[in-house]
Chain A
Amino acid sequence: MRAKLCSVLNGVTLIGLGVVLLDFYFTGRLDQYLHPQFRPWTLAGGIVFCLAGVIYAGSKATECCVEGECVHRNSNSLLRSALAFCVLFLPLAAGVALSKDSYDQHAVLNRGFVEDMSTLPGHSGVSVQKPSNDPAIPPQALGADNDERATEPLPQDTPNDQSDPNGPVPADQANPNVPSPNDQSSAQYLPRAVDGNVALEVTDLLYGEAEESLRKMFSDKTVEVVGQYLPGSDANQFKLVRMFIVCCAADARPIAVPVQVSGPISVTEMGWVKVIGKATYAKNGDRVHVILRADKVEPTDPPAEAMLY
């Protein structure tokens, strides 16, 4: 009787695990947790857990061993079965009900922001490689990057340019070899939001810090960027945050664009917002930094893929 009870309880634990995995997979919540490459494993795991649980609960304990000697002598222990249920199933079941499927600002601040986009996986250091989930800037639009002449530094980027080292970086004029920001051959590839604004990701703006051609493409255009709101040191600025993952949310690293606004806004911390404005790139020492000057900030729904990768 005890052996059967243990078999049933262990089977329920395994089935419960499977149901939780399948629930997260089919409801789409898993998308917030795992890189796409790992998601099929979760689906397969959920199915196998359910099947194994049914077989385990339905088979006799003596079938654990083929010729009568049980391999797992503690498999008939109620304490072990109860412990497995509490440790394996309950935390995951609690996660179904309690997890908000995102980090709050404490985790973001504890992890620290990625300062240099070239250190993120997927960046070759030579040309822009977008995170794979959202090819906002298709390779065709980066034709300038494949043109050797286009990689020549602009006058304002050369050491001889001492006019205003900390001032805004002019995005046009200067080098006739680089496509104009109004060049339709590049601009036509820029993704558009429903209202006609250029729809970009936080990563696009940050990659622009290192890519002259991107800066030129973004300049003078009204862009629309979605991210999470992290309050700044004063009411006129905040950070627009996205999380970048390699395999799962446990290794997520925050990336952020500073946003300037004209006055205080009412958004919950780490709530999703859509920022409409213009991207400005300014030199600070040897580096170029982006600032998004917002014309409008409004709450919005989280994107289908909350994580970038």
Chain B
Amino acid sequence: MQFFVATDLYDRARVSWVGIERIVMSWFTFTWQNFLFSFLALAFEGLPFVLIGSLISGAIAAFVPSKVITGFLPKNGILATLVSGLLGLCFPICECGIVPVVRRLMDKGLPISCGVTFMLASPIVNPIVAFSTLAAFRAQAPWLNMGTRLTLGYVVAVVAGLVVRGIDPSSILRSGAIKGPTRKRLAFSVSALPDAASAGINASVHEKLVAAIRMACDDFIDTAIYFMAGAAVAATFNTAVDQQIILPLALNPMLATFSMMAFASILTLCSTSDAFIAATFVSFPIFARMAFMVFGPMFDLKLFFLYSVLFKKRFVIGLGIGLFIFIGIICSRVLIYLYAGQAL
């Protein structure tokens, strides 16, 4: 590893608080200029959507009674999970804003399996993503690719939800994320959630509005801290790592699929626009690009941190590995036949 100190006086002044301008290796070249540019771009793009999710979360907390949340789902757990995977069609939220919403819905009584299904499916199974996928692949079997993406996203999310049904919630949720006796927790850990009655049935509209805004702000702070950590990691990978090193991976179907998923987790793109990026990786087979579009919105670097707001680290890591393997196998072993004969 070599260290290069700024030679330009202007640069030296700008980075004097850092001390080192850039770190260079054959495949890794870090500069503050590139990091800041990419990091700020991710922040400017993502923070408004985290805010939207938090505002929805605050509104749900203050204005939506628990019985509304639990009342519209089928009583049967499996059916409820199946329905949860489709909620994004009428409740489209991208992955940046989904965590505070899911957290609030679970607080209001949404079963964890339904919450996990909604959390994983909503960034994919929604009309905005359907439209953007159609547009991005308009010269590459658009309807097939859009249908495959939404179907696969739904199936994977439902399977994940059904698997979670069999797991003890206390082993999944972070301490304080579920109702019950509170314990002394780290100051910046997820907030304890109240009994549903605290939503304040008898409060005035003004009180509810102020409460909704305060809760939205606190949700935002809880979530955005993790979002920024993810954006920082992603910005480093995006700008410092030589991306040419991944191209040889495109030659092997299995390697291509898993490397595209790894790439998706590093790029941390928004699900509403990642299809445009996926469509450009023409050196990779279409099923590998499909893995990119299904895995990326479900699990990437920023989501790893965001999910940690709600779930225990062990579960988040297990979820990531499970999705990685499951989606990888489906794409490289099943979709390869679906796309056989398609010149994609």
Query: Residues on A close to B: CB < 8 A?
Result: 10, 13-14, 17, 21, 24, 30, 33-34, 38, 41-42, 44-45, 48-49, 52-53, 55-56, 59, 63-75, 77-80, 83-84, 87-88, 91-92, 94-95, 98-104, 106-107, 109-112, 114, 116, 119-121, 124-126, 246-251, 253
Contact = CB atoms under 8 A, between A and B. Distances in A.
The 5 closest A-B pairs by CB, nearest first: A66-B200, A45-B48, A77-B187, A249-B41, A66-B203
B188 A80 contact: yes
Nearest to A77: B187
Contact of A84 (B32, B194, B225, B268): B225
A106 B243 CA distance: 12
Nearest to B28: A110
Interface stretch (B66-74, B83-91, B162-170, B275-283): B275-283
B151 interface: no
Contacts of B235: 250
A267 B229 CA distance: 37
Contacts of B232: 91
Contacts of B24: 106
Given A33-B40, A91-B228, A103-B34, 12 more contacts: A14-B220, A66-B199, A71-B218, A92-B40, A94-B36, A98-B32, A100-B33, A114-B280, A119-B281, A126-B139, A248-B44, A250-B268
Contacts of A77: 187-188
Interface stretch (B115-123, B204-212, B249-257): B204-212
Contacts of B213: 52, 55-56, 59
B238 A44 contact: no
A63 B198 CA distance: 12
Nearest to B202: A67
A72 B239 contact: no
B37 interface: yes
Nearest to A33: B41
Identify the interface centre among B45, B136, B138, B200: most chain A CB within 10 Å of its CB.
B45
B277 A251 contact: yes
8 contacts: A14-B217, A41-B48, A63-B210, A84-B225, A95-B39, A247-B269, A249-B40, A250-B45
Interface residues of B, number: 85
Contact of B221 (A10, A34, A55, A246): A10
Contacts of A52: 213, 216-217
B109 to A, nearest CB: 15
B38 interface: yes
A66 B235 CA distance: 40
Contacts of A126: 139
B136 A247 contact: no
Contact of A72 (B37, B38, B191, B199): B191
B61 interface: yes
Given A66-B211, A71-B194, A251-B269, A10 B47 contact: no
B224 interface: yes
Contacts of B171: none
B136 A110 contact: no
Contacts of B210: 55, 59, 63
B155 interface: no
Contacts of A34: 41, 44-45
A143 to B, nearest CB: 22
Given A87-B229, A246-B276, A79 B61 contact: no
A42 B44 contact: yes
B221 A63 contact: no
